[in-house]
Amino acid sequence: MSSPSYSSYLGRPAYCAMALVLLLTLLCITFPAYLRNPVSVASCFTGADVRAAAAQPAASASAALVADDGGRRPDQLSILVGVHTMPKKHSRRHLIRMAYAVQQTAALRGAARVDVRFALCARPMPAEHGAFVALERRAYGDVLLFNCTENAEDGKTYTYFADLPAMLGAAGGEGRPRPYDYVMKVDDDTYLRLDALVKTLRRAPREDMYYGVGLPFMDRKSPPFMLGMGDALSWDLVQWIATSDMVRRKAKGVEDVTTGNWLNEGGKAKNRVNIFPRMYDYKSAEAKDFLEDTIGVHQLKEDIRWAHTLAHFNATYGDLRPSREGSS
């Protein structure tokens, strides 16, 4: 993520007031389908009928672009992919939403349930961005709003992992069914090939597992940390992060190194799955600069890089001649 420059908002009290109203509205109105246990969210209401009325629009939204059939087979591998982005980047979110929606094929669903969600901090939330976020939550149900302030190194990754168990109704650990086997954090300038991701995770240990592109590159077997372009943890480690005092004290810092530090200091993540070099930085549009067994491409800062990458992986094939009657 690029560093936001929000200083201009800070001096404008009108925005603060609007943002607060909006935040409260956002926290209470929508009940996206992925919150299978709505209790934690519903606690911001006391009136059940308000709750029911508020839940209506989200429940009836078709959310066709979002793979969410409400549940999963007990034996099905499940992965939460959290795309870390900022409220103002609506256009990028929609590009990413579609780039993953077209990958939700029958074959992929047969192999795993992959829920792609956008992880946003609730602050700052100026009204013009809040409107998009609120509509997206209702229309697609794929936005997770965290109680944090957008700032790359101010602990957003900590908040993401630490707040998820409660957000998914799975706080409390032992005995609770895990909502996901793995939780991934991915940048909004990374494109993942979900089938390749799933293939590698199917073979990975389900417990005490840390997945990504390890650094330093020499340490292939047990890299001290995985690059933040896309790293994943098994659910038990997410729960550990949510409950560890040590981790909470060390929440801030360069996010990927920091995640590695928590695990190293806590004696966690005995299982490290290093996918180097299969997730890598974009170099050019030329075919030779994409690997055949690519899991992810990073540094897709500009839309044109997305265009090249999507074209290379055949996500955008089809002609662009003007539509005719009877064709779309």
Q: Rank residues 23 and 184 by Cβ distance to ligand NAG and give the closer one.
A: 23
Strand partners, 232: 184, 211
Q: Rank residues 182 and 282 by Cβ distance to ligand NAG and give the closer one.
A: 282
Contacting residues for 274 by C-beta, under 8 A, at least 6 apart: 212, 213, 214, 220, 221, 223, 226
Q: Rank residues 48 and 317 by Cβ distance to ligand NAG and give the closer one.
A: 317
Q: What angle do CA 281, 97, 27 make, to 5 degrees?
A: 115
CB of 83 to ligand NAG, least distance (A): 22
Q: Rank residues 207 and 293 by Cβ distance to ligand NAG and give the closer one.
A: 293
CB of 150 to ligand NAG, least distance (A): 13
CB of 295 to ligand NAG, least distance (A): 13
Q: Rank residues 170 and 263 by Cβ distance to ligand NAG and give the closer one.
A: 170
d(C-alpha 136, C-alpha 92), whole Å:
13
- Among 229, 83, 95, smallest CA distance to 160 is for 83
CB of 313 to ligand NAG, least distance (A): 5
* H helical segments located in 30-126: 39-42, 48-60, 90-101, 106-111
Q: Which residues bind ligand NAG (CB under 6 A)?
A: 147, 313-314
Q: Rank residues 49 and 292 by Cβ distance to ligand NAG and give the closer one.
A: 292
- Among 150, 205, 216, 157, smallest CA distance to 184 is for 157
CB of 104 to ligand NAG, least distance (A): 17
CB of 78 to ligand NAG, least distance (A): 26
CA torsion sign, 6 to 10 to 13 to 17? positive
Long-range contacts of 35-39 (CB under 8 A, 24+ apart): 35/167, 35/168, 35/169, 36/70, 36/71, 36/168, 36/169, 36/179, 37/168, 37/169, 37/170, 38/169, 39/169
